[in-house]
Structure 1
Amino acid sequence: MTTTTPGALTRVLRDRNAGLYLAGVVVSGFGTSALWLVSGVWVKELTGSDGLAALCLLAMWAPTLAGPILGALADRTRRKPLLIGMNLLPAALLPTLFTVDTPDRVWVVFAVLFLYGAAGIVQDAAESALVATAIPASLLGDFNGLRMTASEGMKLVAPLAGAGLYAAYGGPSVALLDAATFVLAAGLYAGLRVRESRPEPPTAGWRTQTAEGARYLWTHPRLRPLVLAGGGTMLCAGLGGSLLYAVIDNLGHAPSYAGVLYAVQGAGSVAVGLLSGPALRRLGERRFAAYGIALTAVAAGLRAVPSDAVALVCSAASGVGLPCVLIATLTAVQRETPDALLGRTAATANTLVFTPNAVGLAAGAALVELVDVRLLLPVLGLVWLGSTVPLLQSAASPSRTAARSPSDANPA
């Protein structure tokens, strides 16, 4: 594996479209990660309310629930202009945050973040669909791994940079930085070389078109287990995340120790992104996802051990294991979905995978008050480990696939 990784990375970075995509992800990801932290701090300082500060994250996340509807836009128009437009839209919205200087203007922050999140959903759908066209299929696994590495890398450095900029010049300066990163990303995406024909006019109603992505995922024998496993993983990840501060209490540290654990986990995610392409080729999407889930599940259970060394190892293991099912699912969706349906299907998959995370956070917040974390974590690990079983079962045969899903050949 180690001998193929440098060659795979070189091939991805030498591909012009892949290089431009990755540069755009790094640039816009830096601005988004900086704003994600600063928006909550900004609202907290203006209002003094922890609840309102927490709503900033909810405002950015809420549009994910409308992912299937928003993702349909990526199948109704050419993806490259849509991708550029969805970067310029938040760039135009962010300067309105310059008007936020009193508590009664906080609503502007929530409105901008909500629209910001909605634009991000459409942007992700357009990007996922366009990547499958603009980048050779043999490089998709390597590219998606590098994309994960770029995103996680920005999460390690951008929040600190954003916090420093906020402390020196205030919230508007971070909004301006984020707007500039979107403009730069739009310029990079404009340089993509891809031929797109205008999509055929829709022959069905909006509701039917929106549902086609979910129908395709459910009837596809290779994609359905991956999406279900991804949703189950994010549900368990939400449960585990809500137990983090109880784990830190069990270690005898102050809450600020969470920063250390998050940094170690982020480093693990950066590492697995570099190795995911060769691993996907050797193992296939299902086994790659299953092994990653198993590693994360074992790490979750072992966090009950009150040891700093164990906690750090478990954080690194979670960072390595958790992205595996996400990378595998996205790569499989891009490879297995017809182009005309890819925007809706990718957005629907994202909704089904990431929405359970919020449910897990809420459930974990309630459970941690009722049950000792030293009991919760081993149980969580065992349940999480059980979600690997469907992935390790053999995939359905082609004849069974045809019998169960005649729409696979012509999903529209």
Structure 2
Amino acid sequence: MSDTSRATPGGPLRLRDFRLLLAGAATGQLGAQVTLVALPLVAVLELDAPAFQVGLLTAAETAAFLLVGLPAGALTDRMRKRPLMIRADLLRAVAMASIPAAALLGALTMAQLYVVALVTGVATVFFDVAHQSYLPQILPRDQLVAGNGALETVRSTAHVTGPGIGGGLVQLVGAQFAVIVDAVGYLLSALFLQRVRQTEEAPEPVTAGGSLRKEIGEGVRFVFGHPLLRVIALTTGLANFCTAVLMATQTVHLVRVVGLQAGGLGLVLSASAVGGLLGAVCAGRLAAGLGQARVMLLSVLVTGPFALLWPLSGHGLLGAVLFAAGSAVVSFGAVVYNVAQVSFRQGMCPPRLLGRMNATLRFLMWGTLPLGALLGGALAQSYGSRTALAWCAVGILAVPLPLLFSPLRRMRDLPGPHDDADAGAEPGAEPGAPHATTTATATATVDGDEQPTPAPTR
């Protein structure tokens, strides 16, 4: 982390480079949220795809976490982060722009949608690993919670406005042309990143005898050796599996069961972002008042039951309101959870291993997304979208279980980089497993930071 960022007084918004990073996140997320509505509607409305093919499209979008999730971290640690993010943005822009181009030529097919989804997914894996490894170089450790909160606020704001804009654009110009907004968003993100002045730390040179497999192994060993990282990975992986079931079925359900047009669909999907925005605003205060560990547990324990509103949503206005309410509350809890656990992991990781740690955790947490999407599409195709959403809600109810059966349940605060995993426990609490630094320091301690989301988001 730079001396400049450490010397800057006040909050993270006083830093010009952080403001540029924030602006890039805003434009990229806005475009992605338009595509959240538009891309499935291209399949449903323009290509008349059945439920399983829509689920397969969601699986293609997220398959990159399984295909390149682990090597992406080690490769990212060998590169400068900002140029990598710029290249990923440009690749995503070209891929998304190919959809309206093919539509103009009358050549758009589901096969192309699958390819575009896979290519943008791979670019997103590299972008996100680099982005989350880059943030601690711009902000000092004591500003990471505020910085992540600001990023969550920007993301959630984009999530509020993006689906509504997407729905309106679909009705105005058609789904296949609405995705051009995503391409423009990625281009703007690349331009903002290009203007960042922060001198980036040079990646450590690859040592003689070093191998990609060995570097990947460092991240994997640390994650599995740390009791809190293990439980965070398991909790978020389960949540994301359920989220993928939701993502694969919600467009089909809201269009064909609830009976919404594109504009109404965008408004309902925006409800989850409203909850996420409120969560981002409240996350810092809740963590300060209750403690990071308590907030992580309570955020998913209290909000999870509202997922039961999804399968209860039927045809008409009431169904739309029920679906929107469930999404808003679950997303509130998800964002509060994310800010707490991402800030914990960012703060305890040495810079040279951030990419590997992020990629390992992303592989474990986000690798469940394509599996959930395939299951959601298959359930909706065979038994109907309501049945798929019912199983999704049951899974959301199970998300807090790993936290309840871990050392975290007795903690108020999460430990720092040099503390035991039990350092945050209240007096008299039972000790948990030893901190990974006691067993893994020889290979270097590490922690990642990513943005896993146990709620309906991008």
Q: Same fold (TM over 0.5)?
A: yes
Distance 1:80 1:334 in 2: 18
Distance 2:409 2:394 in 1: 21
Check the 8 A contact 1:216/1:407 in 2, yes or no. no
Matching of residue 404 in structure 1 with residue 404 in structure 2:
no
Distance 1:38 1:304 in 2: 23
Please, what TM-score do these two structures have when normalized by structure 1?
0.81
Question: Relative to 1, partners in 2 of residues 1:320 and 1:408: Cα closer, same or farther, differing over 3 Å?
Answer: farther
Aligned to 2:84: 82
**1:336-386 deviations in whole A, cap 9, x for unaligned?**
111111012112212322333444455566499499899968965663343
Q: How much does 1:105 deviate? A: 5.0
Matching of residue 16 in structure 1 with residue 16 in structure 2:
yes
Aligned to 1:99: 102
Aligned to 1:152: 156
Aligned to 1:3: none
Q: Which moved further from structure 2: 84-93 or 312-321? A: 312-321
Letter in 2 for 1:122: F
Q: 1:392 aligns with which of 406, 409, 414?
A: 409
Aligned to 1:124: 128
Q: How much does 1:393 deviate? A: 3.5
**3-state secondary structure, aligned to 2:399:** helix
Check the 8 A contact 2:245/2:388 in 1, yes or no. no
- 1:309-324 correspondence runs (5 A): 314-324=326-336
Aligned to 2:195: 191
Q: How much does 1:311 deviate? A: 6.9
Question: Relative to 1, partners in 2 of residues 1:70 and 1:270: Cα closer, same or farther, differing over 3 Å?
Answer: same
Q: Which moved further from structure 2: 30-39 or 122-131? A: 30-39
Distance 2:98 2:301 in 1: 45
Question: Relative to 1, partners in 2 of residues 1:178 and 1:357: Cα closer, same or farther, differing over 3 Å?
Answer: closer
**3-state secondary structure, aligned to 2:434:** helix
Distance 1:244 1:265 in 2: 12
Distance 2:398 2:18 in 1: 38
Aligned to 1:61: 62
**1:119-139 deviations in whole A, cap 9, x for unaligned?**
111110111011011112222
Q: How much does 1:269 deviate? A: 0.9
Aligned to 2:428: none
**3-state secondary structure, aligned to 1:331:** helix
Q: Which moved further from structure 2: 399-408 or 279-288? A: 399-408
Question: Relative to 1, partners in 2 of residues 1:409 and 1:21: Cα closer, same or farther, differing over 3 Å?
Answer: same
Distance 2:163 2:27 in 1: 14
- 1:257-406 correspondence runs (5 A): 262-300=269-307, 314-360=326-372, 366=379, 369=383, 380=395, 383-389=398-404, 390=406, 391-394=408-411, 396-397=421-422, 400-401=434-435, 402-406=437-441
Q: Which moved further from structure 2: 237-246 or 81-90? A: 237-246
Question: Relative to 1, partners in 2 of residues 1:397 and 1:266: Cα closer, same or farther, differing over 3 Å?
Answer: closer
Distance 1:127 1:78 in 2: 11
Q: How much does 1:115 deviate? A: 1.3
**1:263-288 deviations in whole A, cap 9, x for unaligned?**
43321111011121233344443222
Distance 2:124 2:43 in 1: 22
Letter in 2 for 1:209: E
Q: How much does 1:230 deviate? A: 1.6
Q: How much does 1:58 deviate? A: 2.6
Distance 1:407 1:82 in 2: 29
The CA RMSD over aligned residues, in Å, is 3.8
Q: How much does 1:151 deviate? A: 2.0
Q: Which has more helix, going by share of residues?
A: 1
**3-state secondary structure, aligned to 1:72:** helix
Aligned to 2:217: 211
Q: How much does 1:259 deviate? A: 6.4
Letter in 2 for 1:388: L
- 1:208-247 correspondence runs (5 A): 208-238=214-244
Distance 2:390 2:225 in 1: 38
Q: How much does 1:169 deviate? A: 3.9
User: Structure 2: where are the runs of 5+ without partners?
Assistant: 1-9, 412-419, 424-432, 448-458
Matching of residue 49 in structure 1 with residue 49 in structure 2:
yes
Distance 1:92 1:243 in 2: 27
Distance 2:97 2:258 in 1: 37
Please, what TM-score do these two structures have when normalized by structure 2?
0.74
Letter in 2 for 1:84: I
Distance 1:260 1:189 in 2: 30
Q: Structure 1 vs Structure 2: percent identity of aligned residues?
A: 23
User: Structure 1: where are the runs of 5+ without partners?
Assistant: 1-9
